Each structure stands twice: as structure tokens, then as C-alpha cells.
Amino acid sequence: MYYILFFLPFVATHFISDPITSYVVSWFGSILIMVYSIYLDYKKNGEKLRFFSPLILSQGLFWGYTAITTIFYFLDQLGYEFFERISFPNIPEIENLAKTQKYIVFAHACYLTGYFLYKGRKTEKQEYLLNIEPADYIKLSIGAIIIGLLFLKTPFSQLTSYLNIFSTICAVKYFGYSLNNRRLIFKGFLYFAGILIIGFLSGMKESTLFPLIYLGVILYDKYGIPRTSLVFVPLIAIYFYFIPTLNGAVRDSVWYGNKGAVETLSSLNNPNIFNVEKIKSNNWVFLSTRFSEVSMLNRYIESVPKYRPYYGLEIYKYGISSLVPRFLWPGKLSPDATAQKRAVDNGALVLNSPYDSTSAKPQTIADAYMSYGYISIFITFLIYGFLVNYFAALLERKLGYEFGLSILFYSLFSVLSKGGCFENLFNTTFYGFVLVYIAIHILKRVNLIEPNFNQ
């Protein structure tokens, strides 16, 4: 029955002609089916919220970014800047946005249908017992960084990205555990702060936002919603207030000015950076354009099939070919190049010259749509949701909730929580699955896990 309920918001939009109302129904629809899916998980698990469940953290990240953040672009096209109207509505773009949001809520319904279609075998006991103490997480984090650096100059450099995520998660996990231990809390805070500073100086907002969100989920899991929200909600609000301006200053310094870490941090003392009007303007530009990719998705939907026929199986073939390592197929087309070409060909990315280094690649829903509209969206996100549940259940069955699900799932399958072009999605997911069994073998060899013979 709940499969039908997932599609009700999408069906409702077909009876609405006004684009503004259609958008609102689709947008609220994603929120409602997200809440409903979490409620189903809550009832299934004995009326207990499991915050690391893919339906809470992974779905929240993916569909929060894909479906919910579009509200700021919508308000911008209505002529608003925050709560102040500054211009007339852009009706043609609002019509495009309403159409796009309809595809989004349809994809979301397919994702949840696929998720609940997976009926994994239930087991009361995990297959492996952990010999991991809270203090071991900082060792795992540092070890992952070192091993990742060793892989950088090898044909297996892709492993570095998995190890970096694993290292970050272990660092945050260590800090989360240290909050209950006065002996560890100072070390935990220093290491966590170091992770944030390094991420901040990279110029990538994701490098600071994900650790903060992950820490918040640890706190929600340990202390519940009311107590955690008193700290976490103001913290995230402060983060989003300052990060667009600070991140822009860091990128100007590090990316374009080639300045070092000390010089970059010193430059942030400039009082002009913290001008209230400048912060307000930067925040709205960030929220209405960079916080969501819906404006780019609009361009793909405008272009295909009106100006360019559906791609059919072409993009899926690129995704499959990305599974072959380059050292086995030296002549393979660059996955980055094929993905970016779709962005350029369909007007989502405009390069000003052959030397323009600006980069953009289609999100998962864009590649699904361009393949064959509703049909390929249905197939793609049905499989997507199924795999999210399958991989999460597999890791929890083998290594439990605290390590298998909350750490390894989000380390090996982080792409399923943020999406990406088919080339990246297929490659990262496939090798993440292979690494599940390699990770288990390594953990056994270093005596961090042992088979549970009392199943």
C-alpha cells in the first residue's frame, strides 16, 4: 500500500495547471514521503529512531540536496531575496522549475519504492564481533590517511577517496565518543578541529559540512532530538551564515592566489569580509544558486529532447565502461570528459574559452532524465533505492549498526548519499561493494573483528 502513497504527490501535480501551486505540491510531496518513509522504518524497528539508517541520514542528504534546497531558487525566481520582494516573478523559469520538481518528486517516489522492495534476510546477531575500543578510532583515522597517501601515486589512487572519508568519519566518531570521557575529550576536540581546519582550507564546503552533520547524527543518536537540537541547530545556522563568505575568501586566496595556509588564515582578519550587507548578499546567492543544482537540471530538461534526442543507453554505457581500470584500458575515454561534455552540450555549463577550467557534471537525476525521461528515471531510481537498502543491510548484518552501518556504509557508499554523474556513480558504487569484502578480510587479519560463532 505504501508504494502507492509514495507516488500520490506526483499524481496530484497532473491535476494542477498553475506552476506555482504545482511546484509547492511537488516540493511538499518530497518532505511528506520522506517523513512517511522514516515513520515506516521507526515502526519496523520497534518504535526506535535509528539516525544512521539510510532513510534518515542518506536519504536526508541526497533528497535534501536534490529536492528540498530548490525552495531558495524558487523564491529567487518569484522575485524575493530572503523575505523581501525585490523584482517581478520570472514566470517562464517558474514553469520550468515546476516541471523539473515534478520529475524530482517522481524520482524520489521510485527511490523509496526500490528501497522497500529489498527484503533482506533478518538476523538477530551480526556475523562478526568487534574488538574495537573508542580509542581505536583515532588510530584507524590516522592509519587511513597514511595508507591513502601511499596509494596516491599508484594505479589504485581511487582508494584514497574512500580512505579519506573513512578517516574523517572515524575522527568524528572518536570525538563523539570522547564527549563521555574527560580523559579523551581534549584530544578528540583537537583532532576534530584539525579535520575541520584542513577541510576549510581546501575550499570545499562539503569537507566541513559533512563532519558537522555526521557529528550531529552521533549526538542525535546518543542524546535524542530535544537535547541535541538545542546545540546542533544553532551551530548549523551559524555555519551557513558565515560559510559562503568565508569559503569564497579561502578560494580566492588558495585556489586563485596560490597562498599558503597561514597566509590564508591571516587574510580572514580583514574586517571587510564580515560586512553585514556583503554577508547577506553572498548568502542569498549561495542559497539560490550554489546550494542546489536545480537551475542546471532545468537546462537539461529544456534541452532534451527538444534540441537533442534522448541519449538512450549511451550514458549507461559510459557508466559501465568506467568500471574498467585505466591501467587495463589505457585508451578509455575520460569519465570526467564525457560527463562534462553532456553539461556543455545541453547548456548547463558555458565555457568562455578552450582554456576555461570551470567544471560541472550532471547529477544522477539529470543523467537518468536525459537517457529516456520518465522511463529511465523509474528504472534508475528503483535500482538506486534497492541498492541503498541492500548495501546498508549487508554491512549491518556483517559488522553491526555501530561500525558496519554508521561507518563503513557511509565510507564506501558515500556517493549514494550525494549522487553524481553515471560515470562516478557506477564506478564508486561497484568498487565500494568490492571493498566491503576486502575491508572485512583486513579487519580480521589485524584482529579488530572475529567471526561470531554464536549466531
Largest Cα span, the chain: 68
pTM (predicted TM-score): 0.94
pLDDT at 354: 61
Q: How many domains does the chain have?
A: 1
Residues near 334 by beta carbon (within 8 Å), at least 6 away in sequence = none
- Contact (Cβ atoms closer than 8 angstroms) between residue 117 and residue 394: no
Name the phi and psi angles at 128, rounded to 5.
-125, 140
State which residues of the chain have pLDDT below 70.
Answer: 1, 121-124, 352-358, 455
pLDDT tens digits for 39-49?
999 888 877 88
Task: Name the pairing type of β-strands 128-130 and 449-451.
Answer: antiparallel
H or E segment and range at residue 449: strand 449-451
Per 3-state DSSP, the chain is made up of helix, strand and coil in percentages (nearest 5) of 70, 0, 25
- Contact (Cβ atoms closer than 8 angstroms) between residue 418 and residue 61: yes
H helices, E strands: number in the chain: 18, 4
The residue with cell 563503513 is: 408
Strand partners, 129: 450
Instruction: Note down the domain range covering 425.
Output: 2-451
The CA-atom distances, in angstroms, between 60 and each of 68, 238, 313, 401 are: 9, 20, 29, 18
pLDDT at 327: 81
The CA-atom distances, in angstroms, between 455 and each of 128, 181, 240, 281 are: 10, 32, 46, 58
What is the C-alpha to C-alpha distance for residues 94 and 433, in angstroms, rounded to an integer? 40
Q: What angle do CA 393, 391, 167 make, to 5 degrees?
A: 105
pLDDT at 123: 61
- 3-class SS at 126? coil
pLDDT at 356: 57
Q: Tell me the chain's radius of gyration from C-alpha atoms.
A: 22
What is the C-alpha to C-alpha distance for residues 282 and 244, in angstroms, rounded to an integer? 6
pLDDT tens digits for 433-447?
999 999 999 999 999
Name the amino acid, one letter, at 42. Y
- Contact (Cβ atoms closer than 8 angstroms) between residue 83 and residue 283: no
